[in-house]
Amino acid sequence: MNYLYLLFDADDTLFDFPKASSRAFQKMCRTQGIPFTEELHQRYHAINLELWAAFDRGEVGKDYVSLERYVRFLKEVQLERDPAACNRDYRDALGEGVFPLPHAEEVCRELRARGHRMYIITNAVASIQRSRLRGSVFAGLFEGAFVSEEAGAAKPSPAYFDYVARQLPGLTPSNALVIGDSLTTDIQGANNAGLPCCWFNPAGKPRPAGLRIDYEIDDLRTLLDIA
């Protein structure tokens, strides 16, 4: 065993977030009486990505992002709906959306059987992410989840990883591995915290300059040869 502690990102590393988000958006549309089209969803998705990118840069807060995405979306598509109600319906539906990525369950089960201590590290809204985790196949495999909303800091801030380290006093840079798909939050965060990292890159994106990437995988099963 190379790493006792495995710190997994959740969305797009273990969970298929685009699928969950699309289903939640469709359900919100039905509840709000909005005729769903894929074009409509893509407009929302672009706005959502832009605002979460601003959050990752530390420019805005999570509550602002959650509401503002629907304020902007409804204005852009010229629909008269309550943004807060749309956001509530979307978040409620998202909390029910649990779609593991290929091989995620089998890999996590094997890692747990080998004796690894596994935790979720996520910037997601706490109520949504904990609801999804409770209803997922991962519920009994992970020892806990560290959610930015509860930590008082978010990836990639060193303060977030300091919070994680305080909760796991046995964790050190020599026995922990960060696994995630996001260069800006997971990999940059591991760099900031001085922790080894594994970039999950199933799309084959080009490796960036200026970031330390200790491992790169395009299939979660490869993690079994690393951890």
Residues classed as catalytic: 9
Q: Which two tokens stand for residue 60?
A: 């805005």
Give the number of C-alpha atoms closer than 13 A to the C-alpha of residue 57, restricted to the C-beta side: 7
Angle subtended by helix axes 83-94 and 17-32, to nearest 10: 130
Cis, bond preceding 156 (omega within 30 deg of 0): yes
Query: Measured between alpha carbons, how far is 60 from 200 in angstroms, rounded to an integer?
Result: 27
Radius of gyration of the CA atoms of the chain, in A: 18
Q: Check: CB of residue 118 under 8 Å from CB of residue 8.
A: yes
